[in-house]
Structure 1
């Protein structure tokens, strides 16, 4: 009987201890950066403006004027036609679709996204870039202020 009691205490203590070593996961909507493919790789973060994300809890954010939010961001400088990779800081979700467009002088131009890579516009100027993520956990829309040289 004592053997069973000791064995029970050991098993209980072991289970209690292993529960304390659990990992802390971040299920918030992912931050996204744009990474250029030059000899000096650099990354720039976009700002999340519209969020509907359901993972450990529901995250929502609605921004009515995404263009003014984008204009207030740090200007990201790229070259004409430069290839850029979309990098998610955390990726504990499945991407269903990534789409992007740029706005210049009120004109919206769709950008073809191949996997997680796209090319900046071929025309110089100041643009607002909008990236839309559709994932199994929800949707997030990101914006940035871009200068094409």
Structure 2
């Protein structure tokens, strides 16, 4: 009886540890998408500047010098004026310390009011903008951009 119990406990530990070892974690910055609050459509933003601690603390870095010019070369993402959108991450194995959104109109940078639920509202003014999302976490920072057309 004693040997059977010991064998059962060992077998349980082997299965338990196998499950822990077999986990595959993603240590890269998240993909960021925008989704209209009254729709199921979503669009993905483009990563620009990344300073992130990856697996085993290895740094992941990416630098884009002219962020606004780079964003203007991306595919146009169209939204209605005054549209509220949610900012979504494909994974979240980090603690969000700060999340900010900005719109560039020409050389003017306007900060958008980010709500607690990670949503913001585009302005009523129509035109072409560059959207910048800045994410600060306990794993580092990441910046995302989009070429936004508000109609």
Fold equivalence (TM over 0.5): yes
Q: In 2, Cα distance between the equivalents of 1:79 and 1:26?
A: 34
Q: In 1, Cα distance between the equivalents of 2:9 and 2:69?
A: 59
Unaligned runs of 5+ in 2: none
Q: How many equivalent residue pairs?
A: 146
Q: State the match for 2:48 in structure 1.
A: 49
Runs of 4+ in structure 1 over 6 Å off? 6-10
Q: In 2, Cα distance between the equivalents of 1:11 and 1:68?
A: 61
Q: State the match for 2:83 in structure 1.
A: 82
Q: What are the within-5 Å matches in structure 2 for residues 60-71 of structure 1? A: 60-71=61-72
- Per mean C-alpha deviation after superposition, the further-off stretch among 14-23 and 73-82 is 14-23
Give the drift of 1:67: 1.7
Give the drift of 1:126: 0.5
Give the drift of 1:35: 0.7
Give the drift of 1:20: 3.0
Q: State the match for 2:109 in structure 1.
A: 108
Q: In 2, Cα distance between the equivalents of 1:63 and 1:105?
A: 18
Give the drift of 1:7: 7.6
Q: In 1, Cα distance between the equivalents of 2:16 and 2:111?
A: 50
- When the two chains are superposed, the root-mean-square deviation of aligned CA atoms in Å is 2.1
1:20 equivalent to 2:18? Answer: yes
Q: In 1, Cα distance between the equivalents of 2:139 and 2:37?
A: 29
Unaligned runs of 5+ in 1: none
Structure 2-normalised TM-score? 0.84
- Per mean C-alpha deviation after superposition, the further-off stretch among 12-21 and 109-118 is 12-21
Q: State the match for 1:122 in structure 2.
A: 124
